[in-house]
A and B are shown apart, each in its own frame.
Chain A
Amino acid sequence: MNDSAGSGPARDPLAWVHGSDAPEKSSLDLGFMALSDCASLVVAATQGFAQPYGLTLNLKRQSSWANLRDRLVSGELDAAHSLYGLIYAVHLGIGGVAPTDMAVLMGLNQNGQSINLSHGLQAQGVTTPEALDHHVHQSRTKLTFAQTFPTGTHAMWLYYWLASQGIHPLQDVDSVVVPPPQMVAHLQAGRIDGFCAGEPWAASAVKHNQGFTLATSQTIWPNHPEKVLGCTQAFVDQYPNTARVLVMAVLEASRFIEQSHENRRSTAQLLSAREYLDAPLDCIEPRLLGHYDDGLGNQWQDPHALRFFANGEVNLPYLCDGMWFMTQFRRWGLLREDPDYLQVARQVQQLDLYRQAAAAVHVSASHEDTRSSQLIDGKIWDGSDPAAYARSFRLHALADHPNRQARR
């Protein structure tokens, strides 16, 4: 075993602090949302993973994704636990802020999000995708689904899943934005009929008998990209060594979390603290360990549960992962025209910096810049023809598509 799990470069513990690779900035403010998948940042910051490199990580919990985005763009936060789609939306100038060049330093996790319906729908027998499809097309009142950010991963999982079941997410249902920790309260108050979010908020809805899990995000795309360590391109340009050691520290923390069952369990205990998730352990731990209870009496050990490392497979910022979110922005009319998908992904995904950091802490990094996946509708996504892929869906909201004209 190498020394990096414990203390970084062993021979001269201060080599990083004094050498030419020393971080230009010694104290970083990192934004995060109260979600189980922020674990690697919390572990890195509190368990001394960055100290050997001369870096102090200060965790700053944010109340909403929009808040986190604004602070990331303004520079108040140096880097943050971010939705893939949030980083790309800022980069492309979709949403509330002026376009700003952004960077994805690494992937933080895969899997572990879910689509959940209210107890009320359950009482009406809407407990399967087919029943939901039927209900949506028969009922006069539109159902309202919540997601966490207009261009975020949860919006994209919700839309993709609904469309794969024959439900048009922008026409057949209404959708609203709600910060993840408030999902259960809105469900309870009957303001929403369902939501797509990360843990522990779905497990919490099940636990409080307010709803049930209809589909996990890993059934949409096994080992899908989810949260990333994001920052502005300006941060990477100004502090390249800092960015690299930050990735090294978070990679080591990710490896530590998955090193043993006990480490995962103590991670759940740490996350439960008031300053991080502020949620009971029994809402966090089971799904963090892959144990699912959907609230309908089904329990299973999920083969594609939330994961943080998997020997670095989780963390490489693949170009196709970034491009996928752009294809969905295009599909749902958030982008009026095709961007230069590959060019944009090459700008945002910091592959070189990631590979340097991975090598420094002995984490294997694929030489491939893309990977191939099959999604729930049977489509293969490998990033090879993004513009065609974006146009290949039966249900969509492509603003310039002839079909839309025909439908009117």
Chain B
Amino acid sequence: MLRILLINDTPRKVGRLKAALVEAGFEVIDESGLTIDLPARVETVRPDVILIDTESAGRDVMEQVVLVTRDQPRPIVMFTDEHDPNVMRQAIKSGVSAYIVEGIQAQRLQPILDVAMARFESDQALRAQLQARDQQLAERKRIELAKGMLMKMKSCNEEEAYTLMRRQAMSRQQKLIQVAEQIIAMSELLG
């Protein structure tokens, strides 16, 4: 069963969404208004999904969403009365997986949450791949830089420089990038 953290900033609607969720068979593990300690709450209760029910998805609401997705990535579904497409775009950009305007019926909740979960997972996978690619490129540039420095210092060719770096790394049980960083640091010191 999905465990849901329900965030509610519309006192007039209190109970409406919660009742719909319970009726649809979800477990609402916590309920609160929007506060600045939202990331900490997410950390404590570890929900599968965060549901935000808000009258108007304003700037400070987005701020909370950004914070949560940065520190505690979770699928976030936002229910709102706001029809403005710009607000919707901004919400998605902030890390909202699904943006639903008004009118929630209990039987529609399951497919909405399913889509949000699936989208969240594919976003996460894509993000991890992109991050790996960025890191790879950055490391590769550092290794190239260190290799160039070593070639100059030892007056050796490219292959010899790589071999020296690798042998050093392996005999010290390190990765090539670590030895590259050491060479760069040492070279800056002696520079």
Alpha-carbon distance A80/B172, docked complex (angstroms): 25
Residue interface mask B112-153, A partner, CB < 8 A = 1: 000000000000000011001101110110011001000000
Decide yes or no whether A335 CB sits under 8 A from chain B: no
Contact between B170 and A43, CB atoms less than 8 A apart:
yes
Q: Which residues of B contact A270 (CB under 8 A)?
A: 169-171, 173
Q: Which of A1-31 contact B (CB under 8 A)?
A: 1, 3, 5-7, 10, 13, 17, 25-27
Residue interface mask A31-61, B partner, CB < 8 A = 1: 0000000000001001110011011100000
Where the two chains meet, the residues of A that have a C-beta atom closer than 8 Å to any C-beta of B are: 1, 3, 5-7, 10, 13, 17, 25-27, 43, 46-48, 51-52, 54-56, 256, 259, 262-263, 265-267, 269-270, 272-273
Q: Determine which of B133, B158, B171, B177 lies in contact with A48 in the assembled complex, contact meaning CB atoms within 8 Å.
A: B177
Alpha-carbon distance A266/B171, docked complex (angstroms): 5
Q: With A48-B177, A51-B139 in contact, do A269 and B132 touch (Cβ < 8 Å)?
A: no
Chain B, Cβ-Cβ closest to A6? B162
Q: With A47-B176, A263-B167, A273-B173 in contact, do A26 and B132 touch (Cβ < 8 Å)?
A: yes
Chain B residues with a Cβ closer than 8 Å to the other chain, count:
28
Give B92 Cβ to nearest chain A Cβ, in Å.
25
Q: Which residues of B contact A266 (CB under 8 A)?
A: 166-167, 170-171
Q: List 23 A-B contacts (CB under 8 A).
A: A1-B159, A3-B158, A5-B163, A6-B159, A6-B161, A7-B144, A13-B140, A26-B133, A27-B128, A46-B169, A46-B170, A48-B166, A48-B175, A54-B133, A55-B136, A56-B132, A56-B135, A256-B163, A256-B166, A262-B167, A263-B163, A269-B170, A270-B171
Q: With A46-B175, A266-B171 in contact, do A54 and B166 touch (Cβ < 8 Å)?
A: no
Alpha-carbon distance A1/B144, docked complex (angstroms): 19
Alpha-carbon distance A52/B132, docked complex (angstroms): 13
Q: Which 9 A-B pairs have the closest CB atoms?
A: A27-B132, A6-B162, A266-B170, A273-B173, A48-B176, A270-B170, A266-B171, A46-B175, A269-B171
Chain A, Cβ-Cβ closest to B140? A51
Q: With A48-B177, A56-B136, A266-B171 in contact, do A7 and B166 touch (Cβ < 8 Å)?
A: no
Q: Which residues of B contact A46 (CB under 8 A)?
A: 169-170, 174-176
Q: Which residues of B contact A43 (CB under 8 A)?
A: 170
Residue interface mask B164-191, A partner, CB < 8 A = 1: 0011011111111100000000000000
Contact between B144 and A13, CB atoms less than 8 A apart:
yes
Q: With A6-B159, A7-B158, A266-B170 in contact, do A52 and B129 touch (Cβ < 8 Å)?
A: no
Alpha-carbon distance A27/B135, docked complex (angstroms): 11
Extra 4 A-B pairs, beta carbons < 8 Å, given A6-B161, A26-B136, A48-B139: A5-B163, A7-B147, A46-B176, A256-B163
Q: Which residues of A contact B143 (CB under 8 A)?
A: 48, 51
Give B178 Cβ to nearest chain A Cβ, in Å.
9
Contact between B175 and A47, CB atoms less than 8 A apart:
yes
Contact between B162 and A7, CB atoms less than 8 A apart:
yes
